[in-house]
Copies of this chain bind each other. A is one copy, B any other.
């Protein structure tokens, strides 16, 4: 699936850009920018492969992944230095697309290990979101995806859809394309109308006492 590989690299680049921007917000040096970009782009897939025992990890097998993430990080710094504004809406849409592709890849890899459905969904979601969670933890923020608009929920639906479609005799690339569309549609709708899951507020006993 050549077009799928291109989508994968596009997702790596977009996630690396969001990592580099976060590192910039924390005034990191160029090494920090590079590390955060690479972790954001490849951390989710690495965690998935390590937990599945799927060796070698993708970026160790093929150094194009590291190259793309590195170029995206350098490009981001240059772009911002040249004081071009960042197209925030464009970035959100690109991020939604990367999320959709990574979710499908994660689910595929998990299914190739013949895991139960619950584990396959977790691997799909993990591939999509864990890189961003690592980025936020290293940058000392509570991960964004645990309290903003619907994000991981789109991955859960997409991953379940892929698992269902993979039971049929559908061609693999058609199933992948359908699921990417589903994740993308849910995520873009969530951005457009600020859809969010309900929150769970629990007061500390200390808070209550005041």
Q: Are B60 and A145 in contact (CB under 8 A)?
A: no
- With both beta carbons as reference points, the residue of chain B lying nearest to A119 in the complex is identified as B60
Q: Are A29 and B199 in contact (CB under 8 A)?
A: yes
Query: A77-B200, A80-B202, A146-B32 are known contacts. Are A63 and B27 too (CB-CB below 8 A)?
Result: no
Looking at A101-109, A134-142, A159-167, A177-185, the stretch in contact with chain B turns out to be A134-142
Q: Are A133 and B138 in contact (CB under 8 A)?
A: yes
CB within 8 Å of B: which A161-210 residues:
196-204
CB within 8 Å of B: which A41-82 residues:
46, 50-53, 55-57, 59-60, 62-63, 66-67, 77, 80
How does the 8 Å CB contact mask read for A116-127 relative to B, with 1 for contact and 0 for none?
111100100000
Query: A53-B53, A133-B138 are known contacts. Are A118 and B32 too (CB-CB below 8 A)?
Result: no
Complex Cα distance, B140 from A140, in Å, reads 7
Q: Are B147 and A27 in contact (CB under 8 A)?
A: yes
Distance in angstroms from A107 CB to nearest chain B CB is 14
Chain A: number of interface residues, binned into ranges: 35 or more
Q: Are B53 and A201 in contact (CB under 8 A)?
A: no
Distance in angstroms from A77 CB to nearest chain B CB is 5
- With both beta carbons as reference points, the residue of chain B lying nearest to A30 in the complex is identified as B197
Query: A24-B200, A118-B63 are known contacts. Are A32 and B147 too (CB-CB below 8 A)?
Result: yes
Q: Are A60 and B56 in contact (CB under 8 A)?
A: no
Distance in angstroms from A91 CB to nearest chain B CB is 13
Q: Are B140 and A29 in contact (CB under 8 A)?
A: no
With an 8 A cutoff between CB atoms, is A92 at the interface? no
Distance in angstroms from A125 CB to nearest chain B CB is 9
Query: A26-B142, A60-B52, A140-B142 are known contacts. Are A33 and B119 too (CB-CB below 8 A)?
Result: no
**Further contacts, 12 of them, CB under 8 A, given A26-B142, A30-B197, A31-B153:** A24-B201, A25-B203, A26-B147, A27-B147, A27-B202, A29-B146, A51-B57, A56-B115, A60-B116, A63-B116, A80-B200, A138-B143
